[in-house]
C-alpha cells in the first residue's frame, strides 16, 4: 500500500455543511456528518455514513477495484422504481490507515447520482428554535423543558411572558 505524501496528497475532512444524494428524484442520502476526501488533483468526493443512506435501494455487486492509496473498493448498484444505476456507489470496507475515517462510508458517482450541499436551516428548521432574550440561541430540548406537556406541569419553570395578553390592559377600574 502506498502512503499519501507531497507527490500524491490525500486529506479527509468533516464537511462544513449538510450533504444529500438524490437518485431518480428521491433523496437517498442525507447527513450532517459527511466526510470530504480530497485526493491529489481529483475532484473532492463526499462520503456518507452508511446509517444516513437508504441502503434498501442498493445492492452489492461483484465489482471490486483497488486504489494503491486507499485499498479495495466494493460497489453497489442502485435500483429505484424502474431506474437502475449500475455500480453507482462504492465503499472502502477496510481502507488504508491514511484514510481510515472513510471506513464503510458510501460515496456516489456524480454522473449517476446528484450529490449536493444543502443549508441545514432550510431542511431542518427546528435545529435552532428561537433566540432567547439574552441573545443566545435556544435549542429545541431547552424549549421542550419549559413547555407544559398537557399534565399541568413542565420540567422547568415557565419563562416570563414577553407579550401582554390582549384585553387585559388596565380598564380604569372596570375589571
Q: How does DSSP assign the chain, residue by residue?
A: ----BTTB-EEEEE-SSEEEEEETTEEEEEES--EEEEETTSPPEEEB-GGGB-GGGEEEEEEEEEETTTEEEEEEEEEETTEEEEEEEEEESS--GGGGGGTT-BEE-TTTSEEEEE-HHHH-TTSEEEE-TTSPEEEHHHHHHTS--SSS--SSPPPPPSSPPTT-S--TT--
Looking at residues 3-22, what average pLDDT do you find?
96
Q: What is the pLDDT of residues 84-140, one digit of tens each?
A: 999 999 999 999 999 999 999 999 999 999 999 998 776 665 555 455 566 555 554
- Residue 146: the pLDDT is 47
Residue 44 phi/psi, 5-degree rounding, is: -60, 150
| Beta-strand pair 35-39/10-14 | antiparallel
Q: What is the pLDDT of residues 155-170, one digit of tens each?
A: 566 666 666 767 666 5
- Residue 105: the pLDDT is 98
Amino acid at each position: 500500500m502506498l502512503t499519501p505524501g507531497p507527490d500524491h496528497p490525500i486529506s479527509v475532512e468533516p464537511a462544513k455543511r449538510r450533504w444529500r444524494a438524490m437518485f431518480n428524484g428521491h433523496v437517498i442520502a442525507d447527513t450532517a456528518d459527511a466526510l470530504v476526501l480530497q485526493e491529489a488533483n481529483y475532484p473532492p468526493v463526499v462520503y456518507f455514513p452508511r446509517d444516513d443512506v437508504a441502503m434498501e435501494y442498493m445492492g452489492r455487486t461483484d465489482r471490486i477495484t483497488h486504489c494503491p492509496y486507499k485499498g479495495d473498493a466494493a460497489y453497489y448498484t442502485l435500483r429505484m422504481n424502474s431506474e437502475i444505476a449500475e455500480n453507482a456507489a462504492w465503499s472502502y470496507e477496510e481502507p488504508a490507515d491514511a484514510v481510515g475515517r472513510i471506513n464503510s462510508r458510501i460515496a456516489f458517482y456524480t454522473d449517476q447520482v446528484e450529490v449536493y450541499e444543502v443549508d441545514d436551516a432550510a431542511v431542518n428548521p427546528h435545529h435552532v428554535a428561537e433566540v432567547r432574550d439574552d441573545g443566545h440561541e435556544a435549542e429545541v430540548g431547552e424549549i421542550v423543558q419549559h413547555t407544559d406537556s398537557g399534565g399541568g406541569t413542565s420540567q422547568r419553570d415557565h419563562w416570563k411572558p414577553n407579550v401582554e395578553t390582549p384585553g387585559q390592559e388596565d380598564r380604569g377600574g372596570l375589571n
